[in-house]
């Protein structure tokens, strides 16, 4: 017997359905129904059905308890039932991912409403969040609108990594130039951890697990249920722009961190399946590894579309996925989603086809699904079905499918075995792809194929509890996100990630109240990786206000006891010099890891891969061309400060994004600290001796650019490493503490094998 429960307009109401006591409470603009014998339900407009003494949400408002509404049933049965009820338009919308949207108010913009209703989008990528409370309220507005739709399917909100300082100090004394797809400046109230490469520098899986548990708790408080992370790529080429977002160049360190990361994010303690209200889906990226672009070029542009394997080690890039993210020790078993990279894995498909990984039947169906038995969602990287214009323009990334229509590209994606299109939010081309599938394989096959992807996508929404309660408390978000306990854990990780690679004659630590000199850093005008102009400016990377909390600040080197010189790793071009006009062609350029000018005399005469409809030559060699880093002024600053200090300690802090050639700056430094996205407070706590450095290099530091050119893009740890004036070799897992070289249990576990 079933009956409709009428929810009273009271703050708290009590019902008794046999042995099942029900408490109903109106909170934060939604209603919570708690039952002693069943699931807690959160809702706004959906009717509640009582059946067999339990309460259920009647999401499709048909007065019946349908299988997908019955929380007692296995999730596989629920997903199959719901997928069978969906219209083609609803399925096509489910198979899309919104572009980045902002939670800058408690309400929804007209565009956001259109995404959810007109295009049936149920995967929203959240970018900036005005505050934790506003973020939670915005999420509730999204879920209320979704609940009002025909089937009441909730939204699986997601985010790129957002718990990082990106160099900004805890007291916001330093704000770097932003260069990326995610703008962290709108997210101020959240725990701050080192960047991924900084997490790797700790070599500590307990820190990784703590990071996953805390960050996933903050995400759930904000209404976020999918993390577009971790980035499990093996950073085997040191020039790759996204090096900083990986977990090192060692595939086994990447494996262990990816495994601990996903397990912590996805596991709800005490759950029989591991899934529940504390779980966050992980979308691990970028299958089968994105760190092997020829010449270190980035596949966001056509200039970097080819991944190459001169060392024959395609297999190494798979290790963090197959043995890590797809092999979790916890009950969730494997990362619930995976994202292929933009690149063409050149020469790897036995059929001879060379298309982007998201289009490749070999890479997705034959390798990922058939050989390695991956069962989760496969979502393409952003915009691979979009049109593009030139190899140097940041537009679509349809590598290998440049001349096809968008509908044909979508068909190719679905034929490859992918379930979802990242950053694409119009359903019409997907409907056309469905019609193309019908024409090619038959109507029954088309519905079966699209419904298969719908089941996979719905499973990740069901397992985190969104069908029962997608709502979150803004009050709780304000209290939990960025709470003292979480911030303290993140800050401890920052401290443990700082790597001291030089400490000549025990220059560090330096006691507080000494006099410190920090030279003014000049940043020339330039271009971001996205080819957008940046302004010229001068700055003190560490503010005098913050410095004065540790030391007396001197305006001249003569009066100072020591100097601090914060600089950035070399900022070169992106591997290509753009032409003066579109009717001409540019030329390929070396990506330099040194501040001083570099001429690529040792580069390949003929590239391993090449070819593009907009280029006249398939040879992408840059041999003989010269690159000058736009921040060569950082090298000059270290040298002039060293000379001005006249033998007094000079502490160089390299705010790193990838490896660099130390020869340009090391001889002029008494001590060198390397950081990957930590606050200036953490740096000063190390320099002043409040905390002893314990970080280890998660990558090799090359002796020179010749060894960079000679290394294989697909082989990690294959460079000659830099040896400094004290005889220390800056290899993977090298680091110093106050006593000298660190030689604990972490050292020797990873590296050359």
The enclosing domain of 515 has a CATH number of: 3.40.50.1700
Task: Residue 49: give the domain boundaries.
Answer: 2-78
The verdict on residue 74 lying in a domain is yes
The verdict on residue 735 lying in a domain is yes
The verdict on residue 211 lying in a domain is no
Q: Residue 2: what pLDDT?
A: 53
- Give the residues across from 680 on adjacent strands: none
> Which of 424, 399, 423 minimizes the C-alpha distance to 412?
399
Q: Residue 391: what pLDDT?
A: 94
The total number of residues written for the chain in this structure: 753
Task: Return the residue matching tokens 């003494």.
Answer: 53
Which tokens is 121 given?
């989008």
Q: pLDDT, tens digit, for every residue of 10-43?
A: 445 555 666 899 999 999 899 999 999 999 999 9
Q: pLDDT, tens digit, for every residue of 200-251?
A: 999 999 999 999 999 999 999 999 999 999 999 999 999 999 999 999 999 9
Domain final position from 78, 103, 125: 78
> Which of 480, 477, 473 minimizes the C-alpha distance to 27?
473
Which tokens is 723 given?
């040896």
Angle between helices 406-416 and 428-441 (to 10 degrees): 60
The verdict on residue 381 lying in a domain is no
Number of domains in the chain: 2
The verdict on residue 688 lying in a domain is yes
Contacts of 675 (CB under 8 A, 6+ apart): 167, 194, 198, 497, 498, 499, 653, 654, 655, 656, 682, 683
The verdict on residue 358 lying in a domain is no
Q: Residue 9: what pLDDT?
A: 45
Low-confidence ranges of the chain (pLDDT < 70): 1-18, 166-188, 752-753
Distance CA 266, CA 276 (A): 9
Compute how many other C-beta atoms are within 10 angstroms of the C-beta atom of residue 548: 11
Phi-psi region of 619 (alpha: psi -120 to 50; beta: other; left: phi over 0): beta
Q: Where are the beta strands (DSSP E) in 666-751?
A: 671-675, 736-737, 740-741
Q: Residue 14: what pLDDT?
A: 58
CA-to-CA dists, residue 530 to 179, 299, 702, 726, angstroms: 8, 12, 26, 39
CA-to-CA dists, residue 123 to 94, 150, 321, 334, 371, angstroms: 7, 17, 23, 20, 28
Domain final position from 78, 113, 143: 78
Q: Residue 13: what pLDDT?
A: 56
The verdict on residue 736 lying in a domain is yes
Domain final position from 78, 94, 123: 78
Which tokens is 5 given?
């429960």
Phi-psi region of 717 (alpha: psi -120 to 50; beta: other; left: phi over 0): left
The verdict on residue 669 lying in a domain is yes
């Amino acid at each position: 017997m079933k009956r409709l429960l009428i929810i009273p307009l009271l703050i708290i109401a009590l019902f008794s359905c046999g042995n099942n006591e029900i408490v109903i409470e109106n909170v934060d603009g939604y209603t919570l129904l708690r039952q002693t014998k069943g699931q807690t339900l959160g809702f706004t407009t959906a009717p509640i059905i009582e059946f067999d003494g339990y309460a259920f949400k009647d999401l499709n408002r048909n007065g019946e308890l349908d299988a997908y509404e019955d929380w007692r049933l296995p999730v596989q049965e629920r997903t199959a039932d719901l997928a069978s009820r969906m219209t083609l338009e609803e399925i096509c919308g489910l198979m899309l991912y919104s572009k980045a949207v902002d939670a800058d108010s408690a309400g929804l913009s007209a565009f956001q409403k259109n995404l959810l209703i007109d295009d049936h989008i149920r995967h929203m990528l959240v970018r900036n969040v005005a505050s934790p409370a506003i973020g939670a309220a915005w999420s509730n507005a999204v879920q209320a609108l979704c609940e009002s739709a025909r089937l009441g399917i909730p939204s699986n909100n997601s985010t790129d990594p957002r718990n990082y300082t990106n160099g900004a100090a805890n007291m916001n004394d330093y704000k770097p130039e932003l260069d990326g797809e995610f703008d962290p400046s709108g997210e101020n109230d959240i725990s701050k951890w080192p960047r991924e490469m900084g997490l790797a520098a700790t070599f500590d899986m307990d820190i990784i697990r703590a990071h996953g548990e805390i960050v996933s708790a903050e995400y759930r408080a904000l209404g976020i249920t999918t993390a577009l992370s971790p980035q499990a790529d093996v950073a085997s080429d040191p020039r790759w722009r996204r090096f900083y977002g990986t977990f090192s160049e060692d595939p086994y360190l990447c494996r262990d961190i990816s495994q601990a990361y996903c397990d912590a994010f996805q596991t709800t303690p005490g759950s029989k399946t591991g899934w529940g209200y504390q779980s966050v889906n992980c979308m691990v990226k970028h299958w089968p590894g994105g760190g092997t672009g020829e010449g270190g070029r980035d596949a966001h542009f056509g200039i970097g579309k080819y991944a190459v394997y001169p060392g024959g080690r395609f297999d190494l890039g798979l290790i963090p996925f197959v043995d890590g993210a797809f092999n979790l020790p916890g009950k969730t078993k494997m990362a619930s989603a995976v994202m292929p990279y933009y690149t063409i894995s050149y020469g790897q498909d036995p059929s001879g086809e060379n298309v982007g990984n998201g289009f490749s039947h070999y890479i997705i169906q034959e390798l990922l699904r058939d050989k390695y038995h991956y069962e989760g969602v496969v979502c393409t990287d952003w915009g691979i079905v979009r049109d593009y214009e030139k190899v140097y323009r940041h537009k679509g990334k349809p590598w290998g499918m440049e001349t096809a229509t968008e509908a044909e590209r979508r068909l190719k994606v679905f034929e490859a075995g992918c379930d979802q299109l990242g950053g694409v939010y119009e359903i019409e081309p997907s409907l056309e792809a469905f019609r193309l599938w019908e024409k090619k394989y038959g109507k029954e096959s088309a519905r079966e194929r699209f419904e298969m992807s719908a089941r996979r996508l719905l499973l990740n929404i069901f397992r985190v509890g969104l069908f029962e309660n997608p709502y979150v408390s803004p009050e709780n978000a304000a209290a939990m996100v960025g709470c003292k306990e979480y911030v303290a854990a993140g800050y401890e990780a920052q401290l443990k990630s700082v790597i001291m690679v030089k400490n000549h004659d025990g220059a560090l630590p330096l006691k507080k109240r000494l006099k410190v000199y920090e030279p003014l850093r000049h940043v020339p005008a330039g271009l971001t990786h996205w080819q957008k102009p940046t302004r010229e400016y001068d700055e003190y990377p560490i503010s005098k206000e913050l410095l004065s909390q540790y030391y007396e600040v001197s305006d001249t080197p003569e009066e100072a006891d020591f100097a601090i010189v914060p600089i950035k790793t070399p900022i070169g071009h992106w591997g290509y010099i753009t032409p003066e006009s579109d009717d001409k062609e540019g030329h390929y350029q070396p990506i330099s890891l040194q501040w001083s000018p570099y001429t690529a005399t040792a580069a390949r005469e003929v590239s391993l891969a090449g070819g593009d409809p907009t280029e006249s030559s398939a040879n992408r060699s840059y041999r003989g061309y010269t690159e000058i880093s736009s921040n060569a002024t950082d090298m000059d600053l270290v040298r002039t400060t060293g000379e001005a200090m006249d033998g007094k300690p000079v502490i160089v802090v390299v705010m790193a994004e990838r490896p660099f050639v130390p020869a340009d700056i090391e001889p002029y430094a008494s001590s060198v600290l390397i950081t990957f996205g930590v606050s200036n407070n953490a740096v000063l706590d190390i320099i002043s001796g409040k905390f002893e450095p314990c970080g280890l290099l998660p990558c090799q530091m090359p002796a020179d650019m010749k060894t960079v050119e000679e290394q294989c893009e697909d082989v990690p740890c294959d460079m000659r490493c830099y040896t400094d004036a004290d005889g220390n070799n800056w290899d993977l897992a090298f680091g110093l503490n106050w006593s000298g070289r660190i030689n604990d249990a972490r050292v020797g576990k990873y590296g050359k094998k």
